[in-house]
Amino acid sequence: MLTWCRLHVLYQTRVPILVRNYASAWDDMPRITMPQKMVEQLTKLNARKAKEDALRRRPKLNTLLISSKRKDYTFYKGQKFDAFDPKQLASHGWKHRGCNYDYFTLVCHKPNPSVVDKSEATSFEEFGLDKRILEYLQSEGISKPTNIQNMAIPELLGGKHMICAAETGSGKTYAYLLPIVHNILQQKKAGMLSDDIKNSPHTIIVVPAIELANQIMKVCEKMAKSIPFKPFVIDRMSNKVLLQSNGGQCIDVLISTPGTLSTLFKAKYMHALKVTCLVLDEADTLLDDSFSKEIKEILRRLQVGESSAIGDNYINEGVQVSLVSATFPQGLDETVGEVLPIDNFSQLTTKNLHHLMPHVQQKFIKMKSADRLATLLGILKKKKNQTTMIFCNKQNACIWLSNSLEEMGVNNVCVAGKDKTKERFRLFQTFIEGESDILVCTDIASRGLDTNMVDHVINYDCPNHISDYIHRAGRVGRVGSRNTGQVTTFVIHPWDVDLVWKIEISARKQVELNNVNANIKAAIKQSRPAKKGMQLKESDD
């Protein structure tokens, strides 16, 4: 009787084997009869050996990109991924109820891309900034510019119009504020700025929300303690009395929202005689359908012209304009092309724009809607000392969640659009100053605000748009943060899964996120079916 080893040798050398115990009359070749079960075992053995050989020949994969509850979907950098095979996604089957409590995590695998690499590091001294600005930066412990600051500051100092788009938390505020303050100091030194003209600033900074305006004002006030310039913020018409008192105010930098600024110009409380610089911060939001009308009115009043090159500098025939955003504004020619020379703008974008943050852990959990609150409580109680922002899509959901957490003994602050501006800002300040570790909010708190102290972002409601996810996730992992933080997203509905697919594909292919459009109002209009009236036919009579 043949031993197992001999049978294995015969099978490897492909000697004909009949698995049945009879032979045909025409076949004269030698035959060996083998049980079917043994053939199956040998087939599995050969397949396993082939797989092991393939793994040995494959290049070593050391950098983990995606860890998954199901180990088969763990993914490494350099591993092959076919975007046309959706079954390779960990979230592929998440539209089915059987996938509840499945999860995957985008793992930290790179340092913060906003920080300049040591080999390319520059210093603020190289830009030729005023000595008082350099001393202020040194006192704040800011020694090296970030990537976007390294790109934007020389452009603005040279007088060029600019579109500046960089990832959230990359230092965009200082990127435009430092050149502005430098130019104010230089013009004052040369006697070009007169304090005789009241209520006419040198620079106007326009933002979509008063919370962001007050935040920028705080940065300006801190600078103004050691640098002689005068910032001013306007919240609706609350500062109307100040603008009227003593013939007006001497203003160097004015910070306001579009509606308020447009009203002040129309009422002639504010003048554009001295304005030489305009900044649209969060330009993707300001130029969408929500604010574009007011922005156009402001731009027409300021008379923005083209810039002409003279040596290394540029001379503007009107106001110098900077569009600053965390996502690149779409359709500029259609929205403001008639009032801005877009072709004359310098476009600055960082390499990591519209990419997932490689230095922040991002976890996605599929669950039932009824299990969200219990899961959230488990996370909050497990990590009591963390500062957390919890995002909801709607005001009602935000208020309900905040009240539910309070009833369960979890102290929190709720910031939703229903609150008046002053109350909303007061509540947000209590969170910023550490009086409460938990902020429950809508997307009103997702854009532009400086949240360096935040450790954890939780999307209680999965965002509806990629741009919203970018801004929410950008509340952690910012330049100057005490730690990189993490993001957790609860995935409930089938349309949530569609967004998660896009994110996971981007993470596996290591490419930018597709179709990042911040014009949310236009997107909502397109997604809604058109309302049709009654189709009445004319009578034949």
DSSP string, 263-299: HHHHTTSS--SS--EEEEETHHHHTSTTTHHHHHHHH
Q: With contact defined as beta carbons under 8 Å apart, do 64 and 74 qualify?
A: yes
* Encoded amino acid at 30, one letter: P
Neighbours of 524 (CB within 10 A): 12
* pLDDT confidence band for 310 (50 / 70 / 90): very low
Question: Using CA atoms, how far apart are residues 350 and 154, in angstroms rounded to an integer?
Answer: 15
- Nearest alpha-carbon partner for 89 in 77, 73, 100: 73
Sign for the pseudo-dihedral over CA of 378, 489, 284, 320: positive
Among the listed residues 300, 307, 299, the one whose alpha carbon sits nearest the alpha carbon of residue 343:
307
Closest CA to 201 of 257, 254, 159: 254
pLDDT tens-digit series, residues 12-67: 555 454 444 555 555 566 666 778 888 888 888 988 888 888 767 666 678 899 99
Write a three-state SS string for 307-341: EEEECCEEEECCCEEEEEECCCCCCHHHHHCCCCC
Say which CATH class 64-112+356-526 falls into: alpha beta
Torsion of CA 317, 323, 324, 328, to 10 degrees: -140
Domain 118-349 has CATH 3.40.50.300: yes
- 3-state DSSP helix/strand/coil percent for the chain, to nearest 5? 40, 15, 45
What would the pLDDT profile of 458-477 be if each residue is shown by its tens digit?
A: 999 999 999 999 999 999 99
Greatest C-alpha distance within the chain: 119
pLDDT at 139 over 70: yes
- Mean pLDDT of the 110-132 span: 82
Tokens representing 415 are 């910031």
Q: What is the DSSP letter of 202?
A: S
**Rounded CA gap, 79 and 299, in Å?**
50
Average pLDDT, the chain: 83
pLDDT at residue 174 greater than cutoff 90? yes
Bridge partners for 66 per DSSP = 75, 106
Residue 390 CA to chain centroid, in angstroms? 16
**Looking at the predicted structure, is the pLDDT value of residue 248 above 60?**
yes
Beta bridge partners of 103: 365
Q: Between residues 342 and 139, which one has the greater pLDDT?
A: 139
pLDDT at 539 over 50: no
- 3 state SS of 472: helix
Q: 473-516 pLDDT, tens per residue? A: 999 999 888 888 999 999 999 999 999 999 999 999 999 998 78
Give the span between the Cα atoms of 312 and 248, in whole angstroms. 38
Rounded to whole angstroms, the Cα distance separating 288 from 11 reads: 70
CA-based end-to-end distance of the chain:
101
Give CA–CA dist 316/161, Å, rounded: 8
Asked if residues 493 and 60 have their Cβ atoms less than 8 Å apart, the reply is no
Q: How far apart are CA 458 and CA 446, in angstroms?
A: 12
Q: How confident is the model at residue 538 (pLDDT cuts 50, 70, 90)?
A: very low
Residue pair 354/503 in contact (Cβ under 8 Å)? The answer is no
- Residues above pLDDT 70, as percent of the chain: 82
DSSP code of 64? E
List, in order, residues 6 or more apart from 315 with CB less than 8 Å away. Answer: 159, 307, 308
Q: Which residue spans of the chain are classified as CATH 3.40.50.300?
A: 64-112+356-526, 118-349
CA distances for 89 relative to 75, 86, 364, 446, 491, angstroms? 10, 6, 13, 28, 15
Give the percent of the chain with pLDDT over 90. Answer: 44
CA nearest neighbour of 443 among 411, 466, 477 = 466
| Two structure tokens written together for 89 | 């996604």
The CB density around residue 477, as the number of other CB atoms within 10 Å, is 27
Summarised one tens digit per residue, pLDDT across range 18-27 is 444 555 555 5
Q: Check if the beta carbon of residue 182 is closer than 8 Å to that of residue 157.
A: yes
Compute the radius of gyration of the chain from its Cα atoms: 31
Q: Tell me, what's the pLDDT at 536?
A: 34
Alpha carbon distance 406, 276 (integer Å): 49
CA torsion angle 269 271 205 524 (round to 10): 70
Residue 204 β-bridge partners: 254, 278
What pLDDT, on a 0 to 100 scale, did the predictor assign at position 7? 57
Angle between helices 4-12 and 36-57 (to 10 degrees): 60
Supply the pLDDT for residue 426.
Answer: 84
The reported pLDDT for the residue numbered 413 is 93
* Mean pLDDT value of segment 408-436: 84
